[in-house]
Amino acid sequence: MRTTTLGSKGPETGVIGLGCMGMTFAYEMKAPRDDATSVSVIHQALDLGSTLIDTADVYGPYTNEELVGRALAGGRRERALLATKVGLYVADPTGGPDNSPLIVNNGRPEHVRQSIDESLRRLGTDHVDLYQLHRVDPEVPLEETWGAMAEVVAAGKARFIGLSEVTVEQIERAQAVHPVAAVQSEMSLWTRDALDEVLPYCEQEGIAFLPFSPLGRGFLAGRFTSFDDLPEDDFRRRLPRFQQDALRANLAIVGRVREIAERAEATAAQVALAWVVAQGRFVIPIPGTKTPKYLADNAGAADVQLSAADLAALDALPAPQGGRY
């Protein structure tokens, strides 16, 4: 796979990474786990060059890090650029909407210091390559949280630290304390907010940008044509863009992506990912999957070369109907 680096000063990695959340923390709350297949998918990702492996302590909670740790055992740890996160936790497994987990912020420095040790134990390693603040805690000054993250680097427990879902102003505040290596936020053909300010700033400062949900939670890959295609307990049933009227309108976006994919002799997912990769030098999408077929398809996007006309056509796609959440 073609490679880039984690920002201007970071290590080399494939231009497409792997998000592991869905392996234990799926959109379908009651979906059965298949740990053996998930482990094999992580192994396959490394073999294909998708070396950025992204997890978080809140996924599961905790079970996702344990799974990734098992997958990277036996000599594979050094082949991965291992990323995890801190700053969210499950306060009540069934206390959220529709009996979903109630997830809350915790950016207190003592929580960061304790959580890194617990994450390292679950991951079976003495350090992570990228430790990310999952969300800024509005109750804790960012400088205090980020200072604790910097202590993690000073202790040798993380090589680099990053932020998730932040503004330029928040990145600047963190930068004043310790360099920000990466920013992770949602970005795709139907979520382009980061293109206005955050991504240009990251590009200017040599900060890596890691888009999550680069396939629009599977929609841009053409996997859904109706609200009824979503399983009964699927989290996406609560999202505005997946409601029947909005979904019907948004299918026009997928149709245009498919047209370009046919011309490029690629899949819709590959075109959607190739557009994301084309947005900057250090843009590394982390599509999530637990399926070998989809993993291979996603990795193949690294070889898709979109023409200037194709990129312009994708840039001109209409905004989706419905908000993100």
Query: What pLDDT is recorded for position 194?
Result: 97
Query: What pLDDT is recorded for position 223?
Result: 87
* DSSP secondary structure string for all residues of 211-228: EESTTTTTGGGT--SSGG
Q: Is the pLDDT of residue 202 over 90?
A: yes
211 found inside a domain: yes
Measured between alpha carbons, how far is 121 from 199 in angstroms, rounded to an integer? Answer: 33
pLDDT tens figures, 240-278: 999 999 999 999 999 999 999 999 999 999 999 999 999
Query: For the stretch 134-154, what's the b/e string if a residue is b when 16 or more beta carbons lie within 10 angstroms of its beta carbon?
Result: bbbbeebebeebbebbbbbbe
Query: What pLDDT is recorded for position 297?
Result: 98
What phi, psi does 164 have (nearest 5°)? -135, 135
- Across 167-182, average pLDDT: 98
185 found inside a domain: yes
Its pTM surpasses 0.85:
yes
CATH number at residue 149: 3.20.20.100
258 found inside a domain: no
pLDDT tens figures, 72-102: 999 999 999 999 999 999 888 777 777 777 8
C-beta of residue 267 within 8 angstroms of C-beta of residue 218: no
Domain of residue 71 covers 3-215+280-291
pLDDT tens figures, 214-238: 999 999 999 898 999 998 888 899 8
Per the structure, how many domains does the chain have? Answer: 1
247 found inside a domain: no
Extended beta strands in 87-175, E state: 88-92, 102-105, 128-133, 158-164
Measured between alpha carbons, how far is 108 from 105 in angstroms, rounded to an integer? Answer: 9
Q: Which amino acid is at 235?
A: F
> Is 131 among the catalytic positions?
no
The catalytic position among 59, 131, 201, 294 is 59
- Categorize the per-residue pLDDT at 29 as very low, low, confident or very high, splitting at 50, 70 and 90: low
Contacts of 290 (CB under 8 A, 6+ apart): 22, 23, 26, 34, 37, 38, 41
